[in-house]
Structure 1
Amino acid sequence: MRYATPTRSAHRATPAGGLALLVRPPGPIGQHRYHAGVRTRPQRHARRDPTKTAHLLTRGLAGLIVLGICVMLGVLIVADERRGSLAAADTGPLTAADVFPAGSAAFQVKRTDLSADCTVAATGTLRPTLQRYGCSQAIRAALAVPYADFRITAGVLSLSDTTGAVAVADLLRSLVESGDGGFAGMAGEETGAGAPVGWRTRGHYLMYCVITGPGGELVPGDDPRVQRITQDLLDTHFGGSVLAHRAG
Structure 2
Amino acid sequence: MVYRYESDEDAFEEYPEPGSDRSALGAGPPPPAGPSPSRFPAPSLPRPNQLSLPSSSRPSPSLPSSSQPSLPPPPPARAEIPPAAPRSQVYTSATPMEPPTRRGGGRLWQVLIGGAAVLVLLALCGLGAAALLSERGPQPQSTPTFQPNAAPTSAPAERLTLDSRDTDQSPLTAKELFPGKELKLGEGQPSYQVVKTQSSGSCAVAATGEVADLLVRLGCNQVVRATLRTPGGDHLVTAGLFNLTDKASAERARDRVRQLLDERQGRFRGLTGNEGDGTDVLASAPARVGWQVRGHYLAYALVVREDGTAIKAGDAKVGEILFDMIELHLSRGVLQQRADGGTAAQPTAAPTDNSGTQSGDDLPGD
TM-score when normalising by structure 1: 0.62
Give aligned pairs, total. Answer: 171
Q: What is the deviation of 1:192?
A: 5.1
Cα gap change, 1:79 to 1:90, in 2 (>3 Å) = same
**Percent of pairs with identical residues:** 35
Please list, as runs of the form range in 1=range in 2, the aligned pairs for 1:208-227 lying within 5 A after superposition.
208-227=300-319
Please list, as runs of the form range in 1=range in 2, the aligned pairs for 1:167-178 lying within 5 A after superposition.
167-178=252-263
Please list, as runs of the form range in 1=range in 2, the aligned pairs for 1:183-198 lying within 5 A after superposition.
183-187=268-272, 190=283, 195-198=287-290
Give the Cα–Cα distance (whole angstroms) in 1 for the partners of residues 264 and 284 of structure 2.
Answer: 10
Q: What is the deviation of 1:81?
A: 3.0
TM-score when normalising by structure 2: 0.43
Give the Cα–Cα distance (whole angstroms) in 2 for the partners of residues 122 and 88 of structure 1.
Answer: 25
Residue deviations 1:171-227 (CA, integer Å, cap 9, x gap): 11111122111201114975555x211000100000111111114332224111101
Whichever structure has more strand as a proportion of its residues is 1
Cα gap change, 1:204 to 1:212, in 2 (>3 Å) = same
Q: What is the deviation of 1:90?
A: 2.9
Cα gap change, 1:142 to 1:83, in 2 (>3 Å) = closer
Cα gap change, 1:202 to 1:131, in 2 (>3 Å) = same
Query: Does 2:223 match 1:138?
Result: yes
Cα gap change, 1:146 to 1:93, in 2 (>3 Å) = same
- The secondary structure found in structure 2 opposite 1:125 is helix
Aligned to 2:267: 182
Aligned to 2:4: none
Amino acid across the alignment from 1:104: L
Whichever structure has more helix as a proportion of its residues is 1
Aligned to 1:96: 174
**Do the aligned partners of 1:107 and 1:146 also contact (CA within 8 Å) in 2?**
yes
Q: What is the deviation of 1:125?
A: 0.5
Quick check: 218-227 or 150-159, which moved more?
A: 218-227
Give 5+ residue unaligned stretches, structure 1: 1-74
Q: Which structure has the bigger radius of gyration?
A: 2
Give the Cα–Cα distance (whole angstroms) in 1 for the partners of residues 295 and 219 of structure 2.
Answer: 14
**Do the aligned partners of 2:234 and 2:307 also contact (CA within 8 Å) in 1?**
no
- The secondary structure found in structure 2 opposite 1:196 is strand
Runs of 4+ off more than 6 Å: 86-89
Candidates 187, 194, 202, aligned match of 1:109: 194
Instruction: Please give the root-mean-square deviation of Cα atoms over the aligned residues, in Å.
Output: 2.7
Q: What is the deviation of 1:112?
A: 0.5
**Do the aligned partners of 2:207 and 2:266 also contact (CA within 8 Å) in 1?**
yes
**Do the aligned partners of 2:161 and 2:295 also contact (CA within 8 Å) in 1?**
no
Amino acid across the alignment from 2:183: S
